[in-house]
Chain A
Amino acid sequence: KAGVTQTPRYLIKTRGQQVTLSCSPISGHRSVSWYQQTPGQGLQFLFEYFSETQRNKGNFPGRFSGRQFSNSRSEMNVSTLELGDSALYLCASSDPSGGNTEAFFGQGTRLTVV
């Protein structure tokens, strides 16, 4: 099975711009979660999508949003970028049909805001 694929791998944006990141989960996985990783804050949960619905949400401002398509692919959007949004954005996919189970991470998108 192919793993979790995130695109693009690297991105440089200017303050005030918006950005869209993409995540293709493992085939058959219906849950996609997004995390932000920074040296100072570590791995922080952004949101989870399951069957095209946002199931859980972390404590991030409304500038961070996401969606999931019928094929389980997910996108994350950040509007009005700030310097502090520079981070590694990771998505993880899982098949929670049997309850809590292992999640598999993609390689991440490294976002730099200048």
Chain B
Amino acid sequence: QQPVQSPQAVILREGEDAVINCSSSKALYSVHWYRQKHGEAPVFLMILLKGGEQKGHEKISASFNEKKQQSSLYLTASQLSYSGTYFCGTASLYNQGGKLIFGQGTELSVKP
């Protein structure tokens, strides 16, 4: 039931782009993306809802393929501050945003 994230880790140079994928075997109502830096709390990035609504930071973009139960997070023109572990959390039903099932995380490292 845990969504699968890929890749597990990625190393970028500043300015490069990356895509992080999240795939679930269950039907999804919403996908939530977070970034966590070492020793800090996960920070909300984006929520994508069934039906196409999405909400999140301006500089972050993501997609949600409802038929395939897949979501992708697009990081463009990466900056050093993008480094951290990215998690997708999934909810299968409306009003279950408080019960997120998280993927195992994707570790992103941006080098100068």
Contacts and interface: CB of A to CB of B under 8 A. Distances in A.
Interface residues of B, number: 29
A33 B55 contact: no
A56 B92 CA distance: 13
Contacts of B103: 42
Interface of B: 2, 29-30, 32, 34, 40-44, 47, 49, 55-56, 87, 89, 91, 94-105
B102 A108 contact: no
A56 B96 contact: yes
A31 B98 contact: yes
Contacts of A16: none
Given A43-B87, A100-B30, A48 B99 contact: yes
18 contacts: A31-B98, A35-B100, A44-B102, A45-B100, A45-B102, A56-B98, A56-B99, A90-B42, A92-B98, A96-B95, A100-B91, A100-B94, A102-B56, A103-B32, A104-B44, A105-B34, A105-B42, A106-B41
Contacts of B94: 99-100
Given A100-B29, A100-B49, A103-B32, A45 B101 contact: yes
A48 B44 CA distance: 18
Contacts of A102: 32, 44, 47, 55-56, 97
Contacts of A31: 97-98
Interface centre among A35, A56, A100, A108 (most CB of B within 10 A): A100
B12 to A, nearest CB: 23
A94 B42 contact: no
